[in-house]
């Protein structure tokens, strides 16, 4: 039987893919790339070398994409073949990144007299290629060159192990009860989900897990304080040497090894630390600028966060006789205070946001903004019965597509993300359309109850769709700068955070809300309460994000060897400077910080706040012109979304906004506009 991975179509045939197909296919596709490069180097040039090489590498990328994806959303039998393929692919890309002959082709192209007359996307792809060669160690010699390659391979393995440990320890823990009274306070949707989880394990009663919806529901609503403590302890100690699964999936040595190898990679390239290496491909100019940005924002936000925390303590003591708030009390008490102050909760909003209506409304919003329409195609093969597939159309022409995997389930990685299936590019068979994966972890339907989203989950869906639009609406035809390719990592969150703004606009909320029983849109009184509560504890949320960002950046800017103890010490130090909430003794947040140890955010978590300045300021133009002003939507589409990585992110922002970024909009949206800040990210 032929191997479908060897000639992957635009939409992967998920109903035909088998784990045993992976290794031979990836080996063959890598060999094809190597042979194509040898042929291309015989007559160096754009059309003779780079175009056919891009074609071969696109086949490799589009075969590896479903392998990586299935490991994330199904795990199990896909883990071993994925890790084997990852090792092969990492070795290939490292080898290519150090290929001096190919590097010379790029140099010759950039130095040619005709280069200045090339189109901007073609020029930028060559410039980015030269940068990436240098960051891949193309200039290294002998032992240093071999060490850099070996480190790259080892880092890929360790990142995968880190993610596996987090997933395995999440799946390893659950708590079962036969007494529904133990779940007092939990909303009906959460109780139904717990019963469904128990039934899936052939158990009577109710089962609480560490999956996002289950964990958050307990921490926010469970009146059973001992249950909150039990669940919180299990969650914050995941993949560490403490907690209910102490030492079983411990990421301590994995973190140490990752940090040591990253530091060595930076040193091999002549840099002082990994933060410098990370910033070499980002918008931020240098490490002092990032630290100044984060520290200044923390300095201004912390007093407001301390006031919010003090209010919480006073309320907890007065209303619930809690003299000392514990970490597992914070979300629960905060929800009670929010209900008292604004008479509203996420659970009260949930019936108005059935999943199907939110998705339909999301599509209506983007149609009004960018003149695109979205249509489901149920004939497309997927990896799970709940997964949907959609096509995007503009002026009747099909321009892109995406898979939407919305619901939490066992063996699926937690969180939410967008990833690429196929990149828009000029191919040997004509224009290749961009295809994306959009993944969330919402509560699925339970019995007769449809999937109902919290408003927080609604913003998550909009966020990920913003990433998807950045990938799918590109007009670039060169893979290196198409969609999110080539976009500075600290600007890549801008379109996603930008789209979240519509979740708070009354005109848009009318489109995305409909009570699952009555069909009624969110009533004005609830809408007003929701908007009033928008910035409830926003300063506490800000300093929490800054805690993560400062810890990440200082960790990677450190020039000393970081063992598990020192990592903990640094996090404790950062918390003492910016955090305002108590922390459990068993808290090992770093052991589950997948963004920086298993994702692309190492020395880059600051990107969320950096890009938030851009996204808030970009949205402020819609506030001026009208949130559905078609001309402004088209302007954003053409200036930002269509351009991909063909131009610097700051230049694209200035083209859209007519000036450099201003932080005022972010402060206003966060409810702290009165603070005088001078921390624009440029």
Residues β-bridged to residue 442: 407
Tell whether the model's pLDDT for residue 682 goes beyond 70.
Answer: no
Give the model's confidence band at 675: pLDDT under 50 very low, under 70 low, under 90 confident, else very high. very low
Domain of 297, in residue numbers: 252-344+537-605
Say whether both 25 and 139 belong to one domain.
Answer: yes
Assigned domain for 638 exists: no
Say whether both 326 and 280 belong to one domain.
Answer: yes
Assigned domain for 620 exists: no
Say whether both 146 and 290 belong to one domain.
Answer: no
| 122, 124, 126, 131: CA torsion to nearest 10 | -170
User: Hey, is 399 helix, strand or coil?
Assistant: strand
Read off the pLDDT of each residue in 498-503 and give the average, rounded to a whole number.
Answer: 98
Give the model's confidence band at 670: pLDDT under 50 very low, under 70 low, under 90 confident, else very high. confident
By percentage, how much of the chain surpasses pLDDT 70? Answer: 98
Q: Strand 425-427 vs strand 417-422: parallel, antiparallel, or unpaired?
A: unpaired
Give the model's confidence band at 674: pLDDT under 50 very low, under 70 low, under 90 confident, else very high. very low
Residue that finishes a domain, picked among 192, 209, 236: 236
pLDDT higher for 670 or 574? 574
User: Hey, is 379 helix, strand or coil?
Assistant: coil
Assigned domain for 545 exists: yes
CA distance 599 to 594: 6
Q: What is the pLDDT of residue 145?
A: 97
Assigned domain for 384 exists: yes
pLDDT tens digits, one per residue of 592-637: 999 999 999 999 999 999 999 999 999 999 999 999 999 999 999 9
Q: What is the pLDDT of residue 446?
A: 86
Are 358 and 464 in contact by the 8 Å Cβ rule? The answer is no
CA distance 394 to 553: 41
Tell whether the model's pLDDT for residue 677 goes beyond 70.
Answer: no
Say whether both 61 and 202 belong to one domain.
Answer: no
Residue that finishes a domain, picked among 590, 605, 620: 605
| 228, 234, 235, 240: CA torsion to nearest 10 | 150
pLDDT tens digits, one per residue of 383-409: 999 999 999 999 999 999 999 999 999
Say whether both 430 and 404 belong to one domain.
Answer: yes
CA distance 458 to 409: 19
CA distance 164 to 170: 10
User: Which of these, 353, 348, 344, 669, lies nearest to 511 by C-alpha position?
Assistant: 353
Assigned domain for 398 exists: yes
Q: What is the pLDDT of residue 404?
A: 98
pLDDT tens digits, one per residue of 454-467: 999 999 999 999 99
Evaluated on CA atoms 659, 663, 664, 670, the torsion sign reads positive
Mean pLDDT of the chain: 96
User: Which of these, 419, 429, 425, lies nearest to 481 by C-alpha position?
Assistant: 425
Alpha carbon 491 to chain centroid, angstroms: 13
- Contacts (Cβ under 8 Å, ≥6 apart) of 314: none
pLDDT tens digits, one per residue of 22-79: 999 999 999 999 999 999 999 999 999 999 999 999 999 999 999 999 999 998 899 9
Q: Strand 388-394 vs strand 397-407: parallel, antiparallel, or unpaired?
A: antiparallel
CA distance 257 to 269: 19
Give the model's confidence band at 668: pLDDT under 50 very low, under 70 low, under 90 confident, else very high. confident
CA distance 534 to 504: 8
Instruction: Give the total number of structural domains in the chain.
Output: 4
- How many CB atoms neighbour CB 20 within 10 A? 10
Q: What is the pLDDT of residue 71?
A: 97
Tell whether the model's pLDDT for residue 580 goes beyond 50.
Answer: yes
Alpha carbon 317 to chain centroid, angstroms: 37
Would you state the structure tokens that stand for residue 51, as one six-digit string?
A: 């175009």
Say whether both 140 and 106 belong to one domain.
Answer: yes
Say whether both 136 and 184 belong to one domain.
Answer: no
Assigned domain for 134 exists: yes
Q: What is the pLDDT of residue 676?
A: 40
CATH number of the domain enclosing 387:
3.40.390.10
Angle, CA 597 vertex, CA 595 and CA 598 arms, to 5°: 70
Say whether both 130 and 15 belong to one domain.
Answer: yes
Q: What is the pLDDT of residue 1?
A: 66
Are 279 and 603 in contact by the 8 Å Cβ rule? The answer is yes
CA distance 483 to 479: 8
DSSP at 223: -
Tell whether the model's pLDDT for residue 672 goes beyond 80.
Answer: no
Tell whether the model's pLDDT for residue 214 goes beyond 70.
Answer: yes
Catalytic residue among 308, 464, 500, 547: 464
CATH number of the domain enclosing 260:
1.10.1370.10
Are 208 and 228 in contact by the 8 Å Cβ rule? The answer is no
Would you state the structure tokens that stand for residue 592, as one six-digit string?
A: 């589950």
Residue that finishes a domain, picked among 163, 181, 207: 163
Read off the pLDDT of each residue in 549-578 and give the average, rounded to a whole number.
Answer: 97
Read off the pLDDT of each residue in 459-483 and give the average, rounded to a whole number.
Answer: 98
CATH number of the domain enclosing 11:
1.10.1370.40
CA distance 415 to 213: 10
Are 183 and 177 in contact by the 8 Å Cβ rule? The answer is yes
- How many CB atoms neighbour CB 461 within 10 A? 25
Tell whether the model's pLDDT for residue 679 goes beyond 80.
Answer: no
Assigned domain for 558 exists: yes
Say whether both 36 and 143 belong to one domain.
Answer: yes
What phi and psi, each to the nearest 5 degrees, are found at residue 435? -130, 140
Q: What is the pLDDT of residue 602?
A: 98
Give the model's confidence band at 271: pLDDT under 50 very low, under 70 low, under 90 confident, else very high. very high
- How many CB atoms neighbour CB 626 within 10 A? 13
Give the model's confidence band at 16: pLDDT under 50 very low, under 70 low, under 90 confident, else very high. very high
Are 481 and 422 in contact by the 8 Å Cβ rule? The answer is no
Q: What is the pLDDT of residue 93?
A: 98
CA distance 554 to 560: 11
CA distance 288 to 168: 38
Stretch (H or E) spanning 400: strand 397-407
Say whether both 125 and 215 belong to one domain.
Answer: no
CA distance 570 to 551: 7
Tell whether the model's pLDDT for residue 681 goes beyond 80.
Answer: no
Question: Tokens 């009208």 — which residue?
Answer: 626
CA distance 320 to 297: 33
User: Which of these, 652, 669, 653, lies nearest to 661 by C-alpha position?
Assistant: 653
Are 498 and 619 in contact by the 8 Å Cβ rule? The answer is yes
CA distance 187 to 419: 33
Assigned domain for 200 exists: yes
Say whether both 363 and 415 belong to one domain.
Answer: yes
Read off the pLDDT of each residue in 279-293 and give the average, rounded to a whole number.
Answer: 96
Are 369 and 362 in contact by the 8 Å Cβ rule? The answer is no
Say whether both 295 and 223 belong to one domain.
Answer: no
Q: What is the pLDDT of residue 673?
A: 53
CA distance 278 to 600: 10
Question: Is 464 annotated in the active site?
Answer: yes
User: Which of these, 536, 525, 538, 523, lies nearest to 616 by C-alpha position?
Assistant: 538
């Amino acid at each position: 039987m032929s191997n479908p991975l060897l000639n992957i179509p635009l939409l992967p045939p998920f109903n035909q893919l088998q784990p045993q197909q992976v290794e031979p296919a990836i080996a063959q596709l890598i060999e094809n790339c190597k042979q194509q490069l040898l042929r291309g180097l015989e007559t160096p040039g754009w059309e003779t070398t780079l175009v056919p090489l891009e074609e071969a590498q696109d086949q490799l990328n589009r075969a590896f994409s479903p392998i990586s994806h299935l490991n994330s959303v199904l795990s199990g039998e896909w883990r071993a073949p994925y890790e084997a393929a990852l090792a092969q692919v990492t070795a290939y890309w490292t080898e290519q990144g150090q290929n001096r002959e190919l590097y010379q082709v790029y140099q010759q192209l950039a130095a040619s007299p005709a280069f200045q007359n090339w189109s901007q996307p073609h020029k930028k792809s060559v410039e980015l290629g030269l940068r990436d060669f240098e960051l891949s160690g193309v200039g290294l010699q002998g032992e240093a060159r071999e060490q850099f390659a070996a480190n790259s391979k080892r880092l890929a393995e360790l990142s995968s192990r880190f993610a596996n440990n987090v997933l395995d320890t999440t799946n390893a823990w659950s708590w079962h009860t036969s007494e529904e009274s133990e779940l007092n306070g939990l909303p009906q949707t959460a109780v139904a989900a717990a019963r469904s989880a128990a039934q899936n394990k052939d158990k009577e009663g109710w089962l609480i897990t560490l999956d996002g919806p289950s964990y958050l529901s307990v921490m926010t609503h469970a009146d059973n304080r001992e249950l909150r403590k039990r669940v919180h302890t299990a969650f914050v100690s995941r993949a560490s040497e403490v907690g209910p699964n102490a030492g079983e999936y411990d990421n301590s040595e994995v973190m140490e090894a990752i940090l040591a190898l990253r530091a060595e990679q930076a040193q091999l390239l002549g840099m002082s630390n990994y933060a410098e290496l990370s910033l070499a491909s980002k918008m931020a100019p240098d490490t002092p600028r990032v630290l100044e940005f984060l520290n200044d924002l923390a300095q201004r936000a912390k007093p407001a966060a301390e006031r919010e925390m003090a209010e919480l303590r006073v309320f907890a003591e007065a209303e619930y006789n809690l003299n000392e708030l514990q970490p597992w009390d914070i979300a629960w008490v905060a929800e009670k205070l929010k209900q008292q102050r604004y008479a509203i909760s996420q659970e009260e909003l949930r019936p108005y946001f059935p999943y199907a209506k939110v998705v339909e409304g999301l599509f209506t919003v983007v149609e009004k903004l960018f003149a695109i329409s979205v249509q489901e195609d149920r004939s497309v093969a997927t990896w799970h019965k709940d997964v949907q597939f959609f096509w995007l159309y503009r002026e009747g022409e099909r321009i892109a597509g995406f898979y939407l995997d919305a619901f939490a389930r066992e063996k699926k990685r937690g969180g939410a993300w967008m990833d690429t299936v196929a990149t828009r590019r000029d191919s040997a068979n004509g224009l290749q359309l961009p295809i994306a994966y959009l993944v969330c972890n919402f509560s699925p339907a339970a019995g007769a109850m449809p999937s109902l989203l919290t408003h927080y989950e609604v913003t998550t869906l909009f966020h990920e769709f913003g990433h998807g639009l950045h990938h799918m609406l590109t007009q670039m035809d060169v893979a290196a700068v198409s969609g999110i390719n080539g976009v500075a990592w600290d600007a890549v969150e801008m379109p996603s955070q930008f789209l979240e703004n519509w979740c708070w606009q009354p005109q848009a909320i009318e489109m995305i809300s409909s009570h699952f029983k009555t069909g009624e849109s969110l009533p004005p009184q609830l809408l007003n309460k929701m908007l009033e509560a928008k910035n409830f504890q926003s300063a506490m949320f800000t300093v929490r994000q800054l805690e993560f960002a400062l810890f990440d950046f200082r960790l990677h800017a450190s020039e000393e060897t970081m063992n598990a103890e020192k990592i903990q010490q640094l996090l404790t130090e950062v918390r003492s400077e910016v955090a305002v909430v108590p922390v459990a003794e068993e808290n090992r947040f770093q052991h589950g910080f997948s963004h920086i140890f298993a994702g692309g955010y190492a020395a880059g978590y600051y990107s969320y706040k950096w890009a938030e300045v851009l996204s808030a300021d970009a949205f402020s133009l819609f506030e001026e012109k009208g949130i559905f002003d078609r001309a402004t939507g088209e302007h954003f589409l053409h200036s930002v979304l269509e351009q991909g990585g063909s131009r610097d992110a700051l230049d694209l922002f200035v083209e859209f906004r007519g000036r450099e970024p201003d932080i005022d909009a972010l402060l206003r949206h966060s409810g702290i506009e009165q603070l005088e800040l001078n921390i624009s990210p440029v």
